[in-house]
Chains A and B, each alone.
Chain A
Amino acid sequence: MTIRDLPREKYVLPGNAACPGCPETMGLRYVGMALGRRAILVIPAGCTSIIQGLHPGSGLSFPIINVAFASSDAVAEGVAVAKELLGEDGVVVVWAGDGATADIGFATLSGAAERNGNIIHVCVDNEAYMNTGIQRSSLTPKGAWTTTTWRGKTESKKNMPLIMMSHGIPYVATASVAYPLDFIEKLRKAASMRGFKYIHLHAPCPVGWRFDPSETVEMARLAIETGMWVLLEAEKGKITISPPSRPYIDKSRRKPIVEYLKRQGRFREISEELVREIEKEVDEYWSTILKLSS
């Protein structure tokens, strides 16, 4: 697949309410390119509630059910079950932020995954509660400033992809807004499978991470090149590292993580000691996933 093969129809419309350089509208465009008119989106509270813009218009051209924070995977499963009973074919996608995925919505997500409900859950992870003004979430990385962690978060990022793998669901993948073709392929693959599919999309937020809005893609790419975010797929408990991340299996080919951290205002006051600690955690993460891929 190349850029030329992608559909041009617009699912994110010009003049929407997203901030400049928003990674979520990028991601939603890729959902549109991957699934097009086959998708119904279920969207819990979060940035995308705002991005849609004001009633009676919408900056997104999908069928959408906006729902309460902790309800999305259950609503989506209900939609999927009903559509199957009605014989209507399509893909039900939960488009949820890190809060709606890993925190307030976690029990609901876990429940739907355990039941193997026939939906795709995309966690669009901008690593904090951006919609309410950059508060820490369980997916905020260690050391990051937020408006509820003024001296930097002291805890590590929860490892959602591995947690979701432990549910024994048919498909888990990670993605990045810097690698749209990889994300689109994963969405299409997920849509072709039956059961619960989880895709975790890394989405650098210029506003919350404190970088220039032109650098959204660069930041997402640096996360891959430093090995801080790893693109992978997991099926039947076995991990496959995706092509964009493969070179970085070899640690010597990874850029120093400080090149990623220093570009973001949220890590401005991070100590060298903490950088070493984060690096150690990155190495440990790699060794864990490589063990699961052998």
Chain B
Amino acid sequence: MVKLTLTGNHCVAYAVKLSRVKVVSAYPITPQTTIVEKLSEMVDSGDADIKMIRVESEHSALSAVYGAATAGVRAFTATSSHGLLYMHEMVWWTAQARVPLVMAVVTRTIGPPWNIWTDHHDIMGQRDTGWLIVMAETNQEVLDETIKLFRITEDPRVFLPGMVGLDAFILSHTVEPVEVPEQEVVDSFLPERRQPYTIRFGDPLIMGNIPSDLLLNAKMRWDVHEALGRSTQVIDEVDREWGKLTGRYYGGLVECYRCEDADFLFIGAGAWVGDMRLAIDKLRDMGYRFGVLKVRYIRPFPGARILEIARGKKGVVVLDRSISAGSAGPIFLDLAAYFQGKNVTIPIKNVVAGLAGFDVNYEDFVKIGERFVNEVSEVGWVENHLEFYPLR
């Protein structure tokens, strides 16, 4: 183990190298660019044994790694924002083809106007595609989750692609001290690549022609859903094993901070969870007993784990850094649907904040928490289930 100060993007590059990825293809987009720049540097200096395909678009980037993965090697791509939207067609294709591969998404807002700062609209827009989606809070988590995703996506119970999300600039371009595991540790953790099928010369296997049995096709679709369900156990196992190897166990699908004795919870995903941690310490000083429930996995959505932790609380605030326009924030929508399905009634408020990179810091979370407690105690319930922050 070595301790380095690394940006989130460089953590991705180290993880890809340590995972012995064979093929990388990507197209530059701010703020993802330094991932492939670092990988290119590693390749050119002979530090990493990776074949780079320097494509002309993001659509081709995912297409190229899909081809490489289908042909039998571990493959990786990275993108952000408009790049992710441009490859959206292939995001679907790769998942429905059941081909394991890994992508880093440096979460960035979507234009117009052109804007390079973080929010989660890009990655949240992929949540129906069948990919595993994990959001990182720290650069250490970026590195760890990228390595773990190869193991999880290549597990026969799963066999789906996965993406790791890291917030633009807050993680991607900010250095933090990071423990980088030794190659032997990663080698002992990652088995040889496994995949459900491989296209080979001389073996006439045909992938993806038109179905005759639409019920069977429907079952294929449903199995993508079921595989994401099965992945919850795999994620937990893998996280525990990684914890034993490195001392870093994150709790699987979700991570808690001071949840146990809390009356209220913040629920959110991504880098700003760090600010929430600071905020609840302050809120507790003020007499409000808050905890933070970090949603690590957006897909599979950890409804059961969240409910386990939220049950009996006086209220929860779901903080979404994106909005499904015309409805509400996506984490809130999933959570509310799950709670409703289990007949659980807890006051839930959805605060949509930090859009377009508008900065939200721990003081803002303190305000949001304080307001929420007042609202719930005065009204006894949530008056407006959906609010944009900052309020006028």
Q: Which A residues fall within an 8 A CB radius of B? A: 37-40, 42, 49-50, 52-56, 58, 60-68, 70-83, 85-86, 88-90, 107-108, 110-112, 114-115, 117
Which residues of the other chain, B, contact A68 by a CB distance below 8 angstroms?
63, 89-90, 93
The distance from the CB of B257 to the nearest CB of chain A, in whole angstroms, is 41
- 27 A-B pairs with CB atoms under 8 Å apart are A37-B201, A38-B201, A49-B209, A52-B209, A55-B210, A62-B204, A63-B202, A64-B204, A64-B209, A66-B206, A66-B207, A66-B209, A68-B63, A74-B61, A74-B63, A78-B23, A78-B66, A82-B69, A82-B75, A86-B72, A107-B56, A108-B56, A108-B63, A111-B57, A112-B60, A114-B56, A115-B53
Tell me the nearest residue of chain A to B93, going by C-beta.
A68
Q: Are B71 and A50 in contact (CB under 8 A)?
A: no
Which residues of the other chain, B, contact A117 by a CB distance below 8 angstroms?
53
Most chain B C-beta atoms within 10 Å of own C-beta, residue among A37, A58, A74: A74
Q: Chain B 175-206 against A: per-residue CB contact (8 Å), 1 yes, 0 no?
A: 00000000000000000000000011111111
Q: Are B206 and A82 in contact (CB under 8 A)?
A: no
Q: Chain B 71-101 against A: per-residue CB contact (8 Å), 1 yes, 0 no?
A: 1110100000000000001100100000000
Please pick, from B22, B71, B90, B204, the residue contacting A79 in the complex, using a CB distance under 8 A. Answer: B71
Which residues of the other chain, B, contact A50 by a CB distance below 8 angstroms?
210
- Expressed in whole angstroms, the Cα–Cα distance for A114 and B53 within the complex equals 12
Q: Are B53 and A79 in contact (CB under 8 A)?
A: no
Please pick, from A53, A58, A78, A110, the residue contacting B63 in the complex, using a CB distance under 8 A. Answer: A78
Which residues of the other chain, A, contact B93 by a CB distance below 8 angstroms?
67-68, 71
Which residues of the other chain, B, contact A52 by a CB distance below 8 angstroms?
206, 209-210
- Expressed in whole angstroms, the Cα–Cα distance for A189 and B205 within the complex equals 26
- Expressed in whole angstroms, the Cα–Cα distance for A110 and B203 within the complex equals 29
The distance from the CB of B266 to the nearest CB of chain A, in whole angstroms, is 40
- The reply on B247 being an interface residue by CB < 8 A is no
- The reply on B65 being an interface residue by CB < 8 A is yes
Q: Chain B 16-34 against A: per-residue CB contact (8 Å), 1 yes, 0 no?
A: 0000001101000000000
Q: Are A55 and B209 in contact (CB under 8 A)?
A: yes
Tell me the nearest residue of chain A to B220, going by C-beta.
A55
Please pick, from B51, B64, B89, B206, the residue contacting A64 in the complex, using a CB distance under 8 A. Answer: B206
Q: Are B210 and A108 in contact (CB under 8 A)?
A: no
The distance from the CB of B21 to the nearest CB of chain A, in whole angstroms, is 11
- The reply on B112 being an interface residue by CB < 8 A is no
Q: Are B204 and A74 in contact (CB under 8 A)?
A: no
- The reply on B121 being an interface residue by CB < 8 A is no
Which residues of the other chain, B, contact A86 by a CB distance below 8 angstroms?
71-73
Tell me the nearest residue of chain A to B27, going by C-beta.
A111
Please pick, from A42, A53, A58, A110, the residue contacting B56 in the complex, using a CB distance under 8 A. Answer: A110
- Expressed in whole angstroms, the Cα–Cα distance for A37 and B209 within the complex equals 20
Q: Are B63 and A67 in contact (CB under 8 A)?
A: yes
Please pick, from A37, A65, A107, the residue contacting B199 in the complex, using a CB distance under 8 A. Answer: A65
Q: Are A85 and B22 in contact (CB under 8 A)?
A: yes
Tell me the nearest residue of chain B to A54, going by C-beta.
B212
Q: Are B201 and A67 in contact (CB under 8 A)?
A: no
The distance from the CB of B73 to the nearest CB of chain A, in whole angstroms, is 4
Which residues of the other chain, A, contact B213 by a CB distance below 8 angstroms?
55
Top 3 closest A-B pairs, CB basis? A78-B67, A111-B56, A90-B201
- Expressed in whole angstroms, the Cα–Cα distance for A175 and B60 within the complex equals 28
- Expressed in whole angstroms, the Cα–Cα distance for A37 and B71 within the complex equals 16
- Expressed in whole angstroms, the Cα–Cα distance for A117 and B190 within the complex equals 30
The distance from the CB of A11 to the nearest CB of chain B, in whole angstroms, is 9
- The reply on B70 being an interface residue by CB < 8 A is yes
Q: Are A67 and B72 in contact (CB under 8 A)?
A: no
Indicate whether A65 sits within 8 Å of B208 (C-beta atoms), given known contacts A78-B66, A108-B60: yes
- The reply on B46 being an interface residue by CB < 8 A is no
Please pick, from B61, B201, B210, the residue contacting A54 in the complex, using a CB distance under 8 A. Answer: B210
Which residues of the other chain, B, contact A115 by a CB distance below 8 angstroms?
53-55
Q: Are A82 and B22 in contact (CB under 8 A)?
A: yes
The distance from the CB of A166 to the nearest CB of chain B, in whole angstroms, is 16
If A77-B64, A78-B25, A83-B201 are given as contacts, then 19 extra A-B residue pairs at C-beta distance below 8 Å, sorted by A number, are A38-B201, A40-B199, A42-B67, A55-B211, A63-B206, A65-B70, A66-B206, A68-B89, A70-B59, A70-B89, A71-B59, A71-B60, A71-B63, A74-B25, A74-B55, A74-B60, A83-B72, A108-B56, A115-B54
The distance from the CB of B84 to the nearest CB of chain A, in whole angstroms, is 15
Which residues of the other chain, A, contact B51 by a CB distance below 8 angstroms?
81, 85
Which residues of the other chain, B, contact A78 by a CB distance below 8 angstroms?
23, 25, 53, 63-71, 75
Which residues of the other chain, B, contact A38 by a CB distance below 8 angstroms?
201-202
Which residues of the other chain, A, contact B25 by a CB distance below 8 angstroms?
74, 78
The distance from the CB of B368 to the nearest CB of chain A, in whole angstroms, is 42
- Expressed in whole angstroms, the Cα–Cα distance for A76 and B53 within the complex equals 12
Indicate whether A67 sits within 8 Å of B53 (C-beta atoms), given known contacts A74-B60, A74-B63, A108-B59: no
**Which B residues, 314 to 356, have Cβ-Cβ distances below 8 Å to chain A?**
none
Which residues of the other chain, B, contact A110 by a CB distance below 8 angstroms?
56
Q: Are B55 and A79 in contact (CB under 8 A)?
A: no
Please pick, from A39, A60, A76, A108, the residue contacting B206 in the complex, using a CB distance under 8 A. Answer: A60
Which residues of the other chain, A, contact B65 by a CB distance below 8 angstroms?
78
Q: Are A76 and B67 in contact (CB under 8 A)?
A: yes
Which residues of the other chain, A, contact B23 by a CB distance below 8 angstroms?
78, 81-82, 85
Indicate whether A82 sits within 8 Å of B67 (C-beta atoms), given known contacts A107-B57, A111-B60: yes
